Amino acid sequence: MKRLILISLVTLMGALTMLTGCKGTEVSANPFFETWDTPYGVPPFDRIKTEHYMPAYEAAMKEHLAEIEAIVSNSEAPTFENVMLAYDRAGLKLEEVNLVFSMLVSCVTNDEMQKIQAEVMPRLTAHNDEILMNEALFTKIKAVYDQCAALNLDPERARLLDKTYTEFVRAGALLDAAGKEQLRKINGELTSLGVTFGQHVLAENNAFELVIDESQTAGLPEGVRAAAKEKAEAKQLTDKYIITLDAPSRIAFLTYAQDRGLREQVFKGYIERGNRNDANDNKQLVLDIARLRSQKAKLLGHKDWGSYVVSNEMAKTTAAVYDLLDEIWTPALEGAKAEVAEMQPLLNADVPGATFEAWDWWFYADKVRKQKYALDEEALKPYFSLDNTVRGIFELSNRLFGLTFRPVNIPVYHKDCSAYEVLDADNSLIGIIYFDFFPRASKNNGAWCGNYRIQRYDNGERVAPIVSIVCNFTPPTGDKPALFTLEEVETLFHEFGHALHFLLSDVKYRGLTWTEGDFIELPSQVMENWAVSPEMLRLYATHYQTGKVIPDHLVKAIQNSAKFNQGFITTELVAAALIDQDIHSITDFEPFDVNVFERDALNTRRGLIPQIVSRYRYPYFLHIFDGEYSAGYYFYIWAEVLDKDAFRAFKSTGDIFNREVARKFRKEILERGGSADGMTMYRKFRGMDPDKSAMLIGRGLMEEPITLPVGVADVSLGE
């Protein structure tokens, strides 16, 4: 999931009344200056124009500062109500504008949107700094914080006070004037560099095209060929086929194309993005970002950026992160080596004397999967149409939480989008969800879930969230619907888990919306466990033409192959988490060669085999250089300990749809946002600490569960 930059500051009290900096645009013409009378108050996408954003940002920031000034200038003694609650309510219009823009610039961008992004993001950073380093405001917050014990606050208010105080301290509120000025400069530079990094990666994705003819499509399934032909025809290329770096095109080509040389071109086209010494090269940006983060961490009293980030997460220390990654690395790498040894003879049967290379992996892994497990992805895809998969997710949500999804006719930002209202068991509105499934040039790669409106309370009434899932899945071709791979199915379940977390949120204070990063992946990853469970498959995996339920032999093949290729999958994932931690563990920054640093970290020091490339290399590692996961890519692995243990709670009842366990998961995890720390919430749900064995078994890194006394686990994350 790509977590967007959110305004975690306070919100505007009143509607905007004037337009500043809007040349040639009337107030009434800008939808951001109106109360949206759309169904459910969704953004009026059909009316929002590119020229509306800058005026809206400028006016919203101005009004936000006025709200902060009202708190600061209040002559009454600081109280929880006139400081903390006022702060928590301020900045709502700015949040609204930023949520809409940040989502759309990721999925329907253009040159003008990118120009606005490059201009407004540093200004937004400066705006946030102006508030978070406001001495008078922090003095009032600290005055309330210092009397916390005497205030008799309930747990949620105490948590809000503590989180807010900590946010200010981590943002530099305790620095002297010179330190604050230095931090402002660093933050501005980091924001600009991140925006440029992301725009370079998008440009690289769009720049690569492999144009081939009929003879070079050998091995490609009909659907892959049809999609490649449609891309070529859209560019007026006759009797040609275009392969792109979009996941459905790239992965299918690497899996099925018989031409080894062409597979190499596609693979290298992907892993060399941002690394070609041209206008989109990101290596210097990587160095600049790493240097500035190192400086920022030291300025704020931490030895390195990793320590700064992780100290505010469940893990608490980078040592705990490395301990988990190192424990997984060795068995995963050994598994990967065994997988190469199994595939090498297959390569040599095709190309005598050839050495197995990274671009061979998908092709020969598919051959082994078919031989050992009689599992053919192409034979599975007819059972995983888009409609079936979405229907299955809706059915699962109903069985677990009593939710109902009904299509609604509301404004959308692209013709490929669909929208649903989400109703609770009592038919009350939970929220709105948009789906945007297919690749396009204006959309970033990957899959993510974000918000157009975050759940909150206004005058005691819950305001329903507006959530969106954005993906880059296999599109329909000809008269065939979109048919998904297993990986795409699991990805959709994953992002839907994030959506449920946002939709079911029920927190009183906006400052308690978010929890720790290494906890926030729990609700998403736990959903993946249902995706291919036999009981679940029989509910939704039906043939798109015949309507027949997926046959038992395919269900069995899916289960038998669950641990197949896990050496590769786990190694490339952990490799990315390790290089993230390594570059953010630099204490005394000196310029270095980015490629050499990466190679030394993985191949030289940790023995990564040349047949595997890290899931993300530095020059296109968006999660950590243009996202919210710097020094935090380990989140996925850390949360996997939680998600596998949480799913075990369902399985142990003999019913993976157990409503009572689901009710507890909703109450203690999904509804609570950041109203308690992650471990506290998890223990309330599970009644014990998470047991790491479920994750290790699931990845094939451990044969038998660890036997422990009742109520005792072998790992205490974050303790």
Catalytic residue numbers read 495
Are the C-beta atoms of 188 and 221 separated by less than 8 Å?
no
What's the full length of the chain, in residues? 719
The residue to which tokens 């946010």 are assigned: 167
Contacts of 100 (CB under 8 A, 6+ apart): 43, 48, 452
Q: Report how far apart, in Å, the C-alpha atoms of 469 and of each of 1, 248, 528, 574, 626 are.
A: 9, 17, 15, 26, 19
Residue 85 DSSP symbol:
I
Element (H, E) at 328: helix 318-350
Q: What is the distance between the alpha carbons of residues 719 and 715, in angstroms, rounded to a whole number?
A: 9
Contacts of 85 (CB under 8 A, 6+ apart): 509
Q: What is the distance between the alpha carbons of residues 212 and 261, in angstroms, rounded to a whole number?
A: 12
Where b means 16+ CB within 10 Å and e means fewer, 201-230 reads bbebbbebbbebeeebbeebbebbbbbbbe
Are the C-beta atoms of 133 and 171 separated by less than 8 Å?
yes
Q: What is the distance between the alpha carbons of residues 602 and 579, in angstroms, rounded to a whole number?
A: 8
CA 296-300-303 angle, to 5 degrees, is 80
Q: Cα-flanking dihedrals φ and ψ of residue 64, to 5°?
A: -60, -45
Residue of 392, 426, 654, 688 lying closest to 541 (CA atoms)? 392
Evaluated on CA atoms 6, 10, 16, 17, the torsion sign reads negative
Q: What is the distance between the alpha carbons of residues 273 and 281, in angstroms, rounded to a whole number?
A: 8
Are the C-beta atoms of 120 and 55 separated by less than 8 Å?
no
